Amino acid sequence: MSSSSDDDDRIPFSRRPEWSDVRPVPQDDGPHPVVPIAYRDDFRETMDYFRAVYLADERSSRALYLTTEAIEMNPGNYTVWHFRRLVLEALNVDLHEERDFIDQIAMRNPKNYQIWHHRRWIAEKLGPEAADKELEFTKRVLAYDAKNYHAWSHRQWVLQSLGGWEKELDYCQKLLEDDIFNNSAWNQTFDFGLSYNQEYSKVRYFVITRSPLLGGLQAMRDSELSYTIEAILANPQNESPWRYLQGLYKGDTDVLVSENQVSEVCLKVLKIDHSCIFALSLLLDLLCYGFQPSDELKGVIEALRKSEPASSDDKLASTICSILEIVDPMRSNYWAWRRSNLPSKAC
Amino acid sequence: MESSASFSPSSCSPRSPNPNPNLDQQPRLTITLLEQLKVEQKVAEIYGLLNGVSAHARSLMSELRRDKHVEFLMRGLKQLGPSYHVLDANRPWLCYWILHSIALLGEPLDTELENDVMDFLSRCEDEDGGYGGGPGQLPHLATTYAAVNTLVTLGSENALSSINRDNLYKFLLRMKDSSGAFRMHDAGEIDVRACYTAISVASILNILDYELVKDVGNYILRCQTYEGGIAGEPGSEAHGGYTFCGLATMILINEADRLDLSSLLDWVAFRQGVECGFQGRTNKLVDGCYSFWQGGVLALMQKLLPVVDKQLTSSSVSGESSLGSTCNIKSSDLAGQGSGKLSDVGFSFIKRHTESVPLFHTIALQQYILLCSQVLEGGFKDKPGKNRDFYHSCYCLSGLSVSQYSWSKDAGASPLPTAVLGPYSNLLEPIHPLYNVVLDKYHMSHEFFSRS
C-alpha cells in the first residue's frame, strides 16, 4: 500500500491557513539512525504536524482531521489511533460516523490489529444496537477472505458481548457449504454450544459451545456428530472435521470411547483408504483412552501391517503407531514417540 | 561429509486432497483446495529439480547464501525505502529482525553500528518505561520485546545496562489487566502476544515476579482450543504464532503442565505438510515464518516430553483443566530442584538434557527453508511467488537454526553433519527457544542481569 496515489492535489500543511499557528515537530531520530526510512515529503510533514498536536495534547477538530490523514498513510501507527480515541471522546463525536470511516479503511487493511481494536472500541461504546452492523461488516470481510483471523475474532467478540446468535449457525453452515475445508468456520461453530452451559463460550465450534440458544455441547452432540461424520466421509482427507469430532468430546473421553459411530467411521474410511492418517490417528487416540476394539477392527489393522508380523502380545495401539510411522513419514518421529509412550490402559 | 539427502514425502499426506472415487462423490474444488494445489505444484517443481542431479549439485542447491543474506540485512539496517513507511511504528522490530538474523549468521557488528543501534533504541524508550515503535511513540509491549531482544543480541555491557529495568517493570505492571492478561499498550488490545512479550521481557531481564505472573496462566489456558493449539484470544482458532507465545509463556511462568500438552503436541505435529514446511492453522497454506513459530513449539515440546508423559499416564488424560484455575502448580520437572525464582526458569529449561529425538522432520523443514523460502539474492520469503522481507528472513533463519540443532542432546552442542541439510557451513548459531535470541547472547545477558 502506498500513499502516493491521488496526491497531486494535496496541499501541504505548511500552506494551510488553519495550521499556520502550529510549529511542526520533526522526528528525533538522532545523528546516525538505524533502519531509517526514506519518508516521502507528505508523510514526513503529516507526522511532524501530528507530533506537534500530540505533544500539545490538542483535542480539537483539526487534530481529529489530522489523525485521519496520518492513519490513511500508515494505519499501523497505534499512537495515532490512541490519540484519535482521546480526541473523539473529548469532542463527543457521533461514533456512527467514526464507524463509517473505519468501514472504508478496514476493507483496504483487513489484517491490521489497530483497526480492529478501534472497531471494537466503537462497538463497545455503541452497545447492543451495533451488533447487526458489526456482524454484517465481518461478513463482508470474510466474503473476501473466509479465514481472516481478525474478522473471526471480532465476530466472536460481538456475539459474546453484544449478541446476535440467532443466525450464526446458519452462517457457519453456509461458509462450510462454500468450503468444507474452512477450519475457521468449523472453529466458529464449536463455540455456539458452550455458551449455554457457561453463559458464554468459538466459529463452528464457537457457536455450538457458546450460543445461549442451542442447549450446549451435550445437547448438540448427536446432530453435530452426524454432520461431522458426513463431512469426513465426503472427504476423509479433510483434517478439520476429524479435529472437530474429537473436540465434541473434549474432557469427556469416556463418552467418546463409548460412541460406536466414532470407531465405525474410522473403520469405514480405512476399508477404502487404508493409509488415511486421520482415521488411524483417531483410532490410536480411542485406544489410548481405553477403547476395546472389535475383532473386525483388529482384523483390518492387522491386514494393514505390511512389515514383519509383530509378537502376539503387541498392543493394537502399538501396531497402529508402527503403521503410521510408515505411511506418514513426515511424522515418523512423532509416531515412534507415541508408540514408546502408550498409556498402560491402551489396548 | 555433507548431508545432501533430500526428503520426498509420500503421496499420502494429510493435506493433499487425494480424492478417493470410492467415497461418495469427488470433492468439489473449494478455494482451500485450489490454493493448496497451486502451492503444492510450485513446490513440487522446485523439489523436482533435486531429482536426477548429483549429490554435490543437490548440496550446492541447498547452500545457505550467507554473504547475500548479510548484504541484504546490512543494507536494510542502514537505509530503507519510502514504502517502509507502513512499518514506521515497528522500527525496533526491524532492528530485531535484522540484527537477530545477522547474529544467527554469526556475523560480527562493528562498534560504531552497535552504538548507533543503542542510540536509536534509547530514543524509542519512553521516560516512564517501555519502548515504542519509533522515537516519541507510545510504549508498546511488542516493540519493547523487540528492543530488549535487540539489546540482548548486541550483548555489550553498555547495551544491557542501557535498559531502565525499574521503569520497564512499572510499564509491564501498568499493562497488566485485571484478568491477568496484558494489554499491548495503554488502552490497547489484550491477547496472547501481549502476554508472551511481557513475560519474556520480564524473564530475560530478571524482573519477573508473582505480581506480573498472577492469573496470566488462566488466560492462556482459556485460549487453548479443542484442536490442541492456542488461539490469540479465548474462542478464536488455534494458530502457530499464538501457540508459540502461549506455550513459551506457560513455560516461563512454570505452569506448562496446566495445558493439555498431548493434544497441543498432536496439533502442532500435524502442521508440517507435504511442502515440508509448516502451516499456521489447519487447512491453511505453508509459510516460511512458521518454521520458527511451529518448529519452535516442537523444540520446546521436545524438552517437555517428560511432562507430557506424566499427563498421559495420569488418570486425567483428557487434559481438561481439572486443575483448579487458581492453583499454582510447582512443576519441579521444569524448574529444577528447589528453585523458587521465576527468572531462573528460562535458564534451567535450556540446561535440561534432551532425552528424545526431534518430534518433526528436521531435514524436510530445512529443505523448505533453503529451497522454497531462500532468495538467492539474499533474504527469505513466505513461499514461492512471494517477496522477501526482514520478518520472514528472521523467522526462516530462526527456524533453520532450531531444526539444525534439534538432534543435539544439550543446548547448543554441535550437531552431526547428518542433521544439517546441505554443506555443513550452513550451520547457524543456536538460539534459546523461549526468547528467540542467540544462545551465547542469552548467556551473557543472563549473567549480567543475575548480578544486578
- Of the partner residues A74, A237, A327, the one whose CB lies closest to the CB of residue B88: A74
How many independent structural domains does chain A possess?
Answer: 1
Query: Phi, psi at residue B68, to the nearest 5°?
Result: -65, -40
Query: What whole-number distance in Å separates Cα of residue A47 and Cα of residue B358?
Result: 49
Mean pLDDT highest for which of A60-74, A159-173, B340-354?
A60-74
Q: Which chain B residues are within 8 Å of A1, Cβ to Cβ?
A: 86
In angstroms, the CA A69 to CA A43 distance is: 9
Minimum distance, in Å, between the CA of residue A15 and any CA atom of chain B: 23
Can you tell me the distance from the alpha carbon of B344 to that of A345, in angstroms, rounded to the nearest whole number? 37
pLDDT of residue A312: 58
* Under 8 Å between Cβ of B248 and B355: no
Write out chain B in H/E/C secondary structure. Answer: CCECCCCCCCCCCCCCCCCCCCCCCCCCCCHHHHHHHHHHHHHHHHHHCCCCCCHHHHHHHCCCCHHHHHHHHHHHHHCECHHHHHHCCCHHHHHHHHHHHHHHCCCCCCHHHHHHHHHHHHHHECCCCCEECCCCCCECHHHHHHHHHHHHHHCCHHHHHCCCHHHHHHHHHHHECCCCCEECCCCCCECHHHHHHHHHHHHHCCCCCHHHHCCHHHHHHHHECCCCCECCCCCCCCCHHHHHHHHHHHHHCCCHHHCCHHHHHHHHHCCECCCCCEECCCCCCECCCHHHHHHHHHHHHHHHHHHHHHHHHCCCCCCCCCCCCCCCCCCHHHHCCCCCCHHHHHHHHHHCCCCCCCCCCHHHHHHHHHHHHECCCCCEECCCCCCEEHHHHHHHHHHHHHHHCCCCCCCCCCCCHHHCCECHHHCCCCEECCCCEEHHHHHHHHHHHHHC
Least confident span in A169-173, A181-185, B444-448: A169-173
A37 in a structural domain: yes
**Chain A: closest CA distance from residue B449 (Å):** 26
Region at A164 (left for phi over 0; alpha for psi -120 to 50; beta for the rest) = left
Q: With 60 as the cut, is the pLDDT of residue A6 above it? A: no
Q: What is the pLDDT of residue B17?
A: 43
Does residue A4 fall inside a structural domain?
Answer: yes
- Distance from the Cα of A263 to chain B's closest Cα (Å) equals 17
Residue B236: list chain A partners with CB under 8 A: 149, 152-153, 156, 187, 202
B23 in reach of chain A (CB within 8 A):
yes
Q: Is B20 on the interface with A (CB under 8 A)?
A: yes
> Residue A233 falls within a domain, yes or no?
no
Nearest-CB residue to B14 (from A1, A120, A277): A277
pLDDT tens per residue across span B358-374: 999 999 999 999 999 99
Per-residue model confidence as pLDDT tens digits over A17-26: 999 999 999 9
List phi, psi (to 5°) of B204. Answer: -70, -25
Q: Is the pTM of this model over 0.90?
A: yes
Contacts of residue B407 in chain A, CB cutoff 8 Å? none
Which of A87, A335, A203, A69 shows the shortest CA–CA distance to B360? A335
Asked, for residue A67, whether it belongs to a domain, the answer is yes
In a domain, A62, yes or no: yes
Give the ipTM: 0.93
Residue appearing with cell numbers 458452550: A194
Of B22, B78, B138, the CB nearest to A272: B22
**pLDDT, tens digit, 9 for 90 and up, residues A96-137:** 999 999 998 998 999 999 999 999 999 999 999 999 999 999
Q: Report the pLDDT value the prediction gives residue A47, as an integer from 0 to 100.
A: 98
Q: What residues of chain A lie within 8 A of the CB of B88, using their CB?
A: 37, 39, 43, 47, 74, 76-77
Predicted pLDDT at B333: 43
Q: Which three cell numbers stand for residue A95?
A: 461514533
Are B103 and B400 a contacting pair, CB within 8 Å?
no
Is B133 an interface residue toward A (CB < 8 Å)? Answer: yes
- Per-residue pLDDT tens digits of chain B, which is 452 residues long: 344 456 665 433 444 444 444 444 566 789 999 999 999 999 999 999 998 899 899 999 999 999 999 999 999 999 999 999 999 999 999 999 999 999 999 999 999 999 999 999 999 999 999 999 999 999 999 999 999 999 999 999 999 999 999 999 999 999 999 999 999 999 999 999 999 999 999 999 999 999 999 999 999 999 999 999 999 999 999 999 999 999 999 999 999 999 999 999 999 999 999 999 999 999 999 999 999 999 999 999 999 999 998 887 775 444 344 333 333 444 444 443 334 578 789 999 999 999 899 999 999 999 999 999 999 999 999 999 999 999 999 999 999 999 999 999 999 899 999 999 999 999 999 999 999 999 999 999 999 999 87
* Chain A, nearest residue to B73 by Cα: A35
Give the model's pLDDT for residue B320: 41
Q: A78 is in which domain, residue-wise?
A: 1-93
